[in-house]
Chains A and B, each alone.
Chain A
């Protein structure tokens, strides 16, 4: 999926984008460094750039697909960013069955107890936040952030998100993480993205909750 590492679907995307914008604009790379109030880099923060009007605004993905895996009783990735209209598969690669559900208004669904890949993909057709849970394993928590743009990425361990192939133009750049109060997240930053590289820094001030899947594993948390 676009923005989630060097996958083949991203390459397809880049081609689509390249065709769409051929002759009109050059593609730029957007680099967003996200840090907390003390300047410590924040990993796994969603960054997305939405085009403001103009001819560089992309069409909706026609057949975009993504995967939310389940492994070691965790959702992998913990946060998945997709463009509105994307089909998401939920394969279970654990030895035990999972029963994935969401009651989020953005997309409410349920995938009955299963292992492997048995359920058809789910299309996320509305932008917003989808909180995933497993009815069997209370500790499992995952997010799908659905955005109205193909230009997005997650920050890496160094706190940097790299969005490639962004046509030059004016964008609103936003970030999202479940770890911050939504009111603490910085407002959309309007900026002119220009090739080859546009770099910005974003700070998330205010109290941050712990990263759900990245705490100590020396204790046992399954009890019910």
Chain B
């Protein structure tokens, strides 16, 4: 049981073995590599969060903030079974090469209007409307919305997902309904980063074996390192949702996620946080190459305050109930297919109802404006301005920092892509 559940350790080699097997028995595989250089000019008096600070920015130092590389591999095992591995190189937080997603997807050939799909492994739940590009990148902005940033940080189920899609033929196949459901392990500490550091907007996706520095807890005996995909209690989590599409005009999705973690459970230096949320996502194609994307997330988490990283509790430790919420709306426009402008407005909050002072509260809003140019399939570049205003009342009480912060970041990025694929 223990071996079965330490899926995190097993998953990457397994995925690579499956992928390798696929590559060996046939030459039907596809590779894709993306390398980017990122230049940043930031204005904040907080430390970047990957260094354990409270800043909502990933980069707070000016200049070349490093090279980013990710690679995608898709290997065909049978005509309907594919192995997918997405690996990422980063130079901050827990640096090096690691896997962001590794799964097998099975799409049996439809025999009726119902089309099924299964995914097994480690993957993102299909919630984000921003991160539809390879490597879970966004075609709109370099820094993701607060909601999708958090999904990239702390949500990565390891399990099985089933989805069923049906086109409504009587309506010219324009309407499409989909339902999906999944059971998973891992993700038990989800929301730890959200409550210790607060919401954030960036593009760093947590990888399988990442250990993230989080801001020190007020009563901690040791620094806490977060491994968000840990399974602490061997209770599987669930998510599910329904989606409606109207041609390439409208998409609306409702989903619910619940990691079903036991708050007092502890394993491998990680505490369980019982985190559940509802999520609503809508996108609409508008005339004149305009598009509108909006997501809304509202959730709760039950966790134990002053639970120590060594697994012990402080005398005053107790279970608390916190709430979190975020929403964004984004307007985007393409110009002739090679240029894109996107403007997004995010609001976010974490709160403990009834608590005085609201020590865990983190609330604010952010504007993101991005312009991208993609002259061809190999090269792309862009510039993005991100401004975040936020307030946390805990900062002056424990960390000798002002409660309110206005952070800004100007980011310039050049990307080179290589898609080698052979049949």
Contacts and interface: CB of A to CB of B under 8 A. Distances in A.
B172 A113 contact: no
B249 A103 contact: no
Interface string A181-203: 10000000000000000000000
A216 B285 contact: yes
A131 B126 contact: no
A141 B245 CA distance: 14
A142 B337 CA distance: 23
B397 to A, nearest CB: 42
A133 B115 CA distance: 10
Contact of A209 (B107, B174, B290, B337): B174
A102 to B, nearest CB: 9
B340 A216 contact: no
B170 to A, nearest CB: 7
A219 B138 CA distance: 11
Contacts of A222: 132
Interface residues of B, number: 50
B76 A218 contact: no
Contacts of B313: none
B79 A217 contact: no
A115 to B, nearest CB: 5
Contacts of A71: none
Interface stretch (A37-45, A81-89, A92-100): A92-100
Contact of A103 (B28, B110, B287, B334): B110
A77 interface: no
Given A96-B421, A222-B132, A113 B79 contact: yes
B287 A216 contact: yes
B9 interface: no
Contact of A218 (B30, B80, B173, B332): B332
Interface residues of A, number: 37
Contact of B291 (A95, A96, A133, A219): A219
Nearest to A143: B173
Contact of A224 (B111, B126, B130, B337): B126
Nearest to B169: A131
A136 B74 CA distance: 12
A212 B247 CA distance: 6
A219 B423 contact: no
A178 interface: yes
B244 interface: no
Contacts of A116: 423
Contacts of B290: 216, 218
Nearest to A219: B291
Given A135-B107, A215-B285, A220 B132 contact: yes
Given A135-B109, A209-B174, 14 more contacts: A97-B76, A110-B109, A113-B28, A114-B423, A135-B115, A141-B167, A178-B172, A180-B172, A217-B337, A218-B285, A219-B283, A220-B132, A221-B248, A224-B126
8 contacts: A97-B76, A135-B80, A138-B165, A210-B248, A215-B247, A216-B286, A218-B285, A222-B132
